[in-house]
């Protein structure tokens, strides 16, 4: 649900809920380390700042918070930008597209586990970024991030080290979520340590401790035990077992 709930909150335009959820859960779930939350949270603040029924000072505060957070998201996950713009056939200016930080190498160099989450997020939520005002705000902050990169901001290297450490391998439940999502942009192939026998059509990549409550216990065949009485009762009562009184 943590890979989906931000999308649902934005679709419902319940921006305050998403912000409150992040504030309450970040300390023990590190939501900012997930690409979907890293980008959805600043988008929630930005869209909140666009609401005309808010007092002017609250709009200004939300806009400032949105810009700070989107810069952090772009610094942490630079491989999100170009794939996001490609959904709308938008070409960033040469300063951005040719820069080593946001160029094609940003997407190629990220671990496959991170690429899965990015593809899952963009495949589901890319349309939330299509409004001209949102694109203009995003572009403004992309240039601010590039200024920090060119200035040698130590946060840039720290972020790269963090995602390389965090996303060495996708947990089994992430692969499970990707398969269930049926988003074609996301790689739905099972992890390498999973055999084809454990990929079930009705329950792909079940947890190792899954209990199948609908499976009937194996019954002993009365024929194999030569029990003619049990065979007779079985013909009358299909659910009869030899253990029944």
User: Is the same domain home to 64 and 141?
Assistant: yes
The verdict on 151 and 222 lying in the same domain is: no
End position of a domain, from candidates 110, 135, 170: 170
* pTM more than 0.85: no
User: Is 180 a member of any domain?
Assistant: no
Same domain for 221 and 165: no
Percent of the chain with pLDDT over 90: 49
- List, for residues 226-245, the tens digit of each pLDDT value: 566 666 655 565 554 545 55
What is the residue range of 235's domain? 215-245
Does one domain contain both 102 and 219? no
Whether residue 213 is predicted with pLDDT greater than 70 in this model: the reply is: no
In this predicted structure, the answer to whether residue 115 has a pLDDT above a threshold of 90 is no
Q: Are residues 146 and 89 in the same domain?
A: yes
Based on the fold, state whether residues 165 and 235 are members of the same structural domain. no
Note whether 92 and 155 are same-domain residues: yes
pLDDT at 193 over 60: no
Asked if the structure places residue 89 within a domain, the reply is yes
Residue, of 14 and 104, whose pLDDT is higher: 14
Rounded distance between C-alpha atoms, residue 6 and residue 220, angstroms: 51
In a shared domain, residues 65 and 123: yes
Do 151 and 244 share a domain, yes or no? no
130 versus 91: the higher-pLDDT residue is 130
* Residue pair 103/85 in contact by the 8 Å Cβ criterion: no
* Per-residue confidence (pLDDT) for residue 240, from 0 to 100: 47
179 located within any domain: no
31 and 148 share one domain:
yes
Averaged pLDDT, 50-59: 92
Same-domain check for residues 38 and 134: yes
Does residue 152 fall inside a structural domain? yes
Q: Which long-range contacts (CB under 8 A, 24 or more apart) does 177-181 make?
A: 177/3, 177/120, 178/116, 178/120, 179/204, 179/205, 180/204, 181/120, 181/123, 181/124
- Residue 71 within any structural domain of the chain: yes
Give the domain-ending residue among 155, 170, 185: 170
Per-residue confidence band for 163, with pLDDT thresholds at 50, 70 and 90: confident
pLDDT at 212 over 60: no
Query: Is residue 236 located within the same domain as residue 116?
Result: no
> Residue 166 domain-assigned?
yes
Mean of the pLDDT values across residues 24-42?
95
Whether 138 has a pLDDT exceeding 60, the answer reads yes
The more confidently predicted of residues 82 and 168 is 82
Residue 206 lies in a domain: no
Number of domains composing the chain: 2
């Amino acid at each position: 649900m943590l890979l989906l709930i931000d999308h649902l909150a934005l679709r419902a335009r319940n921006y305050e809920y998403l912000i409150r959820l992040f504030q309450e859960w970040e300390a023990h779930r590190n939501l900012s380390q997930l690409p979907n939350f890293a980008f959805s949270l600043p988008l929630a603040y930005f869209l909140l700042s666009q609401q005309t029924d808010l007092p002017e000072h609250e709009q200004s505060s939300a806009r400032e918070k949105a810009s700070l957070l989107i810069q952090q998201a772009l610094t942490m996950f630079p491989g999100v930008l170009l794939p996001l713009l490609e959904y709308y056939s938008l070409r960033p200016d040469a300063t951005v597209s040719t820069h080593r930080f946001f160029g094609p190498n940003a997407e190629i160099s990220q671990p496959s586990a991170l690429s899965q989450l990015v593809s899952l997020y963009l495949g589901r939520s890319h349309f939330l970024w299509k409004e001209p005002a949102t694109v203009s705000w995003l572009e403004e902050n992309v240039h601010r991030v590039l200024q920090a990169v060119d200035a040698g901001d130590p946060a840039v290297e720290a972020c790269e080290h963090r995602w390389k450490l965090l996303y060495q391998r996708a947990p089994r439940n992430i692969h499970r979520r990707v398969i269930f999502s049926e988003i074609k942009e996301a790689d739905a192939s099972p992890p390498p340590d999973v055999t084809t026998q454990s990929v079930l059509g009705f329950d792909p990549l079940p947890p190792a401790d899954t209990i199948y409550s609908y499976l009937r216990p194996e019954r002993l065949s009365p024929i194999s035990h030569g029990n003619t009485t049990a065979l007779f009762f079985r013909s009358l009562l299909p659910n009869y077992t030899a253990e029944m009184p």
